[in-house]
Amino acid sequence: MKNICIVGLGISGLSILDYFADKNAKIIAFDSNENIDKSKFEKYDKFENIDINIGKNPTGEEDVDIIYVSPGISLYTDYLVKFKNRNVPITGEVELAYEILKDAKYIGITGTNGKTTTTSMLGEIYKSYESNTYVAGNIGISLLNFTKTAKENSIFITELSSFQLESIIDFKPHIAVILNITPDHIERHKTMQEYKNAKFNITKNQTSEDFLVLNKDDSEIDLDLSKVKAQVVYFSQKEKIQNGVYYDSCQRAIINNLYGKNELVIKREDIHLLGNHNIENTLASVTVALLDGIPTELIKKSIAEFKSVKHRMQEIRTLNGVKYINDSKGTNVMSTVKALEAINSDIILIAGGYDKHIEFDELIKHFDNKVKKLVLFGTTKYQILDTAIKYGFKDIIVLENLSQAVKICNILAKEGDYVLLSPACASWDMYKSYEHRGDDFISLVNELKE
């Protein structure tokens, strides 16, 4: 009988617990949150092999064969360091799903920004071509959820965070994508290089039969290609790639130049997403789909029908000529910068949230006379305030919560303005997730009276 320890009982932790519940395994599970909804654990009462500990963490001394850790828990945590020093394997739900379905095809997408949009777009492209396609991972759907129904030849379009990638052991995507890298989660990874290394893990198990798709325009994607075994393929908005996919600004179209084909795939007017950053996401999606042999016409049709994902530049309503945009997925500086670049009108920006130990200078530098008012809330509100004042921007309001922010924006906004929630921060100081924050914003905006 295998002795298993599960740390963190969120989406991934519960999926692992569900998988092992009726297996020949002894399970000890922990969640440090004393206020977690305990009713969701009642179904495990009938299993004598499961010991659930709420409001506690392991000590690191438990007699276990393997640790499955939630992506939200740092591998630098004291008890995990103790397990590691005892040579107890530490991994996560992605690795377990791969172990169960190794014969499936995995497409892995990582990067600081654009992962969810690219994963969702690729999901729609692949589903138009292969019905046994599943979209999962950091997008909010556990890979393990599909292991009971998926066939051996299934395709998993998998969004992968740095948190998930730092704990993989054998996981190997057939096609891996690194969209971009900007500073993020430094409070977790300690240094920018460690953050990069976690992202670069996506290719560590690839072979010469696999593909690594990289953004040619991003100098931060500086992994040592001499150590990469996969075939490297680039996409670019800035230059014509000899054997890759690029955006031609003269034709305003995405061009497939793989294997010298020089084929127009889709024109900009047929991509119904705001901002140049979504050209980047579309380029990555097109590159992956072409490498996997999906016909160009299917790719074009799927992209033309694709709309923005919830919480990413999502238009909520227009009230008295003011557009309200939910970009709660903007959880770091460059994500918010890209949101600002996508709007060509005056903006009232709502920002602030959980402190990830990042700087906000680049955010203020990219206001470009478009941001007319900055409305701040959350743990980082005074840090952003100080940074804005340093650069001479003083049209700032500091508030306690999102409800106050929406009300003041409704008063201040004029016809033609955009009220943009794009916090440049994670949500964990006040909300359980960016989805929770975005849903709150949607409700608050829809409650406004005309």
Residue 416, annotated as binding a ligand: no
Would you state the torsion angle of the CA atoms of residues 196, 197, 202, 206, taken in this order, to the nearest 10 degrees?
A: 130
- Cα angle 139, 140, 142 (rounded to 5 degrees) comes to 110
Residue 149, annotated as binding a ligand: no
Residue 113, annotated as binding a ligand: yes
Residue 112, annotated as binding a ligand: yes
- Cα separations (Å) of 285 from 205, 250, 297? 22, 21, 14
Residue 318, annotated as binding a ligand: no
Secondary structure in 3-state letters for the chain:
CEEEEEECCCHHHHHHHHHHHCCCEEEEEEECCCCCCHHHHHHHCCCCCEEEEECCCCCCCCCCCEEEECCCCCCCCHHHHHHHHCCCCEECHHHHHHHHCCCCEEEEEECCCCHHHHHHHHHHHHHCCCCCEEEEECCCECHHHHCCCCCCCCEEEEECCHHHHCCCCCCCCCEEEECCCCCCCHHHHCCHHHHHHHHHHHHCCCCCCCEEEEECCCCCCCCCHHHCCCEEEEEECCCCCCCCEEEECCCCEEEECHHHCCEEEEEHHHCCCCCCHHHHHHHHHHHHHHHCCCCHHHHHHHHHHCCCCCCCCEEEEEECCEEEEECCCCCCHHHHHHHHHCCCCCEEEEECCECCCCCCHHHHHCCCCCEEEEEECCCCHHHHHHHHHHCCCCCEEECCCHHHHHHHHHHHCCCCCEEEECCCCECCCCCCCHHHHHHHHHHHHHCCCC
**Residue recorded with tokens 């992506």:** 71
Q: Show binding-site residues for ATP.
A: 111-117
Q: Show binding-site residues.
A: 111-117
